[in-house]
Amino acid sequence: MILPGHLDEAKGLCRETLASLQTEAARKADLMLALASLLPSRTGGLIVDGASPDAAAQLSQKLSGWTSTKARARRLPVGISDDGLSGGLDLAATLAAGRPITQTGILSAADGGCIVIPMAERLPRRTAAQISRAVDCAGISIEREGISLSAPARFVLLLLSDTADESESVPDILATRIAFRLQGAFLPPLWVSTIDDVSLGKARQALVNVELPERCIEAMATACDTLGISDLRVLDFACASMRGIAALAGASCVQDEHAQLAASLVLGPRVMMVADPEDREPPPPPPEADQKDNGGDDQPMDDLAEIMISAARYAAQIDADVKRQKNRRRIKGEVASGKSGDMIDSWQRGSRIDARAGDPRRQGRLDLIATLRAAAPWQKIRPRREGGATISIRATDFRLKRFRHRSEAVVIFAVDASGSAAMNRLAEAKGAIEFLLSGCYARRESVAVLAFRRQSAEVLLPPTRSLTRVKRSLAGLPGGGGTPLAAGISAAQILSEQELRRRRSPYIVFLSDGQANVGLDGASGREGASADANRMARRLKGAHLPILFLDTSRRPNADARRLSEEMGALYRPLPFADGKSVSDTVRNVLLS
């Protein structure tokens, strides 16, 4: 029984914990923003995950106020074009002047300031690659459409993401160029900064004279190696952060506490090997000759490196706890929207991505603006007939709209309908299909079923989303007989190839114990049947398809595991299964 006094005490403790988390998050955000504004070319900026709209607005306001030029923050529009991002041809001015006129994009316009990227987890890879190139080169360079444009582009990035699960993340090509990452779930809507403009200005002036001892660099490199961080950019981020923290503290040389703080800010979010070194197996001792050559020069780890490692692990634990709390709040009462299916290019439907040269009479839809843009630079040298069109357009100028959409996923169940357990496996497949189809319209998924028994494999249910058709097709299916596993694998590959030609994304799920006893030619015999099954499995592996092998044996079977490795499938033992467990396994392992 919980007494009222104990309940009040627990509530007070929770409020204190929340306040301390908010204070720590605000302090880290202030320090990261200050370091990013002090060292824009060395740190890249800041990634914030899960911040509220008010907190994100304050982060943007602080960063734009702390940049060297005092320029306002520029917000990257969703679906920005290449011309809007990097610059290009000003179509209206070009047509009016009769000569190519260039315009700057948001990257060069933000030179000396900052760029805010909302929904960074959905940033297209093409856009992320262009931003990354500008970060590396500190400028943009364009050679296209008959124009040549170069401009400086030195800016700080603020990436705001709100990832729902592990499948959503900022593109790696851009994330690896950003020094700081912050879990913003506990950022307060408003907070008073501990760093003001005066102290930041003094730190900017003193930064040039701050010394970084060799000992700190070596300790940071040791910490990165121990924590499993192999990217050399991270070491550069950490070294720059040490100098920046010392400048903010008014010190002329980096001290141990500055290095410890830099390790927690930079290494903490990137910790890959959080286990203690003592928990891992020690490496084998070197041969005696090597020991003599070393002369006993092996030294224990530096105390500063150990302090850095401890600080990084502590920061990683705090970030993991914050992320766990955020995910718990999100998952409660929320239905996940599946993301099965591959992204494919199309000339007809989907999200617009770019324009390509082509013939509108044969392929797709004409992009008028892109066509005019392609023709504009050549107007001055193209001959014009008297009384003819004002603009001269040729067939080589035609540009077609190109789109990208997520293809429909087709889950192909290949069910072993042989032996005494056939009816159970068919019932499991039927139940799993019904569970999968319950949300198929939101996820754009179809299912197909083929069964292999006696001497051959048969497609029982072509790809469909109809629950009524599933129940009618799978009702009262016969079972028993031999196990032509090779025929089942071959039939699954043929069906998947048919779906690929229809621009769909096939996923194959095998329900079997892996015990083949009928070969491709229909002859009985375990040795020949196993050889045929392995040969067809290797052939299926060459198709590079996502495959899940569910072992329905009473206990995990070595033959089934070996066969799944031959076909490049994910292996899961599932001796006691029902429709829901099979559906959950397919959803979490194959379609996630």
At 34-47, the pLDDT tens digits run 999 999 889 999 99
Helix axes 214-226, 232-248, angle to 10 degrees: 130
- Lowest average pLDDT, out of 69-73, 186-190, 248-252, goes to 69-73
CA nearest neighbour of 268 among 182, 336, 345, 199? 182
Over its C-alpha atoms, the chain yields an Rg (Å, rounded) of: 31
**pLDDT above 70: residue 371:** yes
* pLDDT surpasses 50 at 144: yes
pLDDT digits over 344-369, tens only?
666 676 667 778 888 887 778 888 88
More confident call, 162 vs 428: 162
* pLDDT given for residue 473 in this prediction: 67
Q: What is d(CA 560, CA 582) in angstroms, rounded to the nearest whole number?
A: 17
In this predicted structure, the answer to whether residue 330 has a pLDDT above a threshold of 50 is no
Q: What are 553-578's pLDDT values in tens digits? A: 778 888 888 999 999 988 888 765 56
> What is the per-residue pLDDT for 459?
87
Q: Is the pLDDT of residue 343 over 80?
A: no
In this predicted structure, the answer to whether residue 8 has a pLDDT above a threshold of 60 is: no
Angle ∠(57,319,222) on CA atoms, nearest 5: 120
pLDDT for 453 equals: 84
Nearest to 447 by CA among 460, 462, 435: 462
pLDDT confidence band for 394 (50 / 70 / 90): confident
Helix axes 214-226, 256-266, angle to 10 degrees: 30
Q: Alpha-carbon distance 512 to 572, whole Å?
A: 11
Q: Tokens at residue 312, please?
A: 């990084």
Q: What is the pLDDT of residue 10?
A: 46
Q: Are 262 and 238 in contact (CB under 8 A)?
A: yes
Residue 341 scores a pLDDT above 80: no
| pLDDT over 90 (residue 436) | no
**Lowest mean pLDDT segment, chosen from 301-310, 328-337, 578-587:** 328-337
- Per-residue pLDDT tens digits for 465-489: 776 776 666 665 566 778 899 999 9
Segment 383-404 shows an average pLDDT of 77
User: Which domains can be identified in the chain, with CATH numbers?
Assistant: 22-81+108-192 (3.40.50.300), 196-275+302-328 (1.10.8.80), 351-382+392-405 (no CATH), 409-590 (3.40.50.410)
Strands 139-144 and 156-161: unpaired
Q: Name 550's bridge partners.
A: 511, 572
The mean of the pLDDT values for the chain is 78
pLDDT value of residue 115: 92
The Cα angle at residue 355 between residues 85 and 153, in degrees rounded to 5: 15
- pLDDT tens digits for 532-548? 999 999 999 988 888 98
17: amino acid identity, one letter: T
Q: Contact, 426 vs 511, CB < 8 A?
A: no
More confident call, 516 vs 13: 516
Distance CA 416, CA 482 (A): 10
- Range 1-13 average pLDDT: 46
**Closest Cα partner for 244 from 296, 285, 206?**
206
Q: Residue 568 — left, alpha, or beta (φ > 0 → left; ψ -120 to 50 → alpha)?
A: left
d(CA 242, CA 220): 10
> Span 279-288, mean pLDDT?
46
Give the span between the Cα atoms of 99 and 377, in whole angstroms.
Answer: 6
Yes or no: say if 237 and 195 are a contact pair by the CB < 8 Å rule.
no
Tokens 């290449």, residue located: 82
What pLDDT was estimated at residue 244?
93
Task: Record the pTM.
Answer: 0.61
What's the rounded Cα separation, in Å, for the pair 438 and 434? 6
Selection from 96, 103, 87 nearest residue 380 by Cα: 96
Per-residue pLDDT at 156: 92
CA–CA distance, 120 with 113 (Å, rounded to integer): 19
pLDDT tens by residue, 185-201:
778 888 888 888 888 88
Nearest to 491 by CA among 475, 504, 510, 472: 510
pLDDT at 460: 81
The residue whose two tokens read 């590959």 is 493
**Which range scores top for mean pLDDT: 27-31, 296-300, 403-407?**
27-31
pLDDT for residue 417: 81
Question: What token pair was written down for 466?
Answer: 């109809």
Find the range with the poorest average confidence among 83-87, 283-287, 351-355, 428-432. 283-287
Is the pLDDT score of 397 beyond 80? yes
Instruction: Give pLDDT, residue 337.
Output: 42
Q: What is the mean pLDDT of residues 45-58?
A: 88
Three-state SS at 27? helix
Amino acid at residue number 72: R
pLDDT of residue 245: 93
Q: Which of 153, 174, 132 is nearest to 69 (CA)?
A: 153
Nearest of 236, 81, 264, 269 to residue 161 by alpha carbon: 269
Residue 444's pLDDT band (cuts 50, 70, 90): low
Top mean-pLDDT range of 389-398, 477-486, 522-531? 522-531
Q: DSSP label at 70?
A: -
Query: What are the residue ranges of helices labelled H in 449-566?
Result: 467-474, 485-501, 526-541, 558-566
CA 186 to the chain's CA centroid: 23
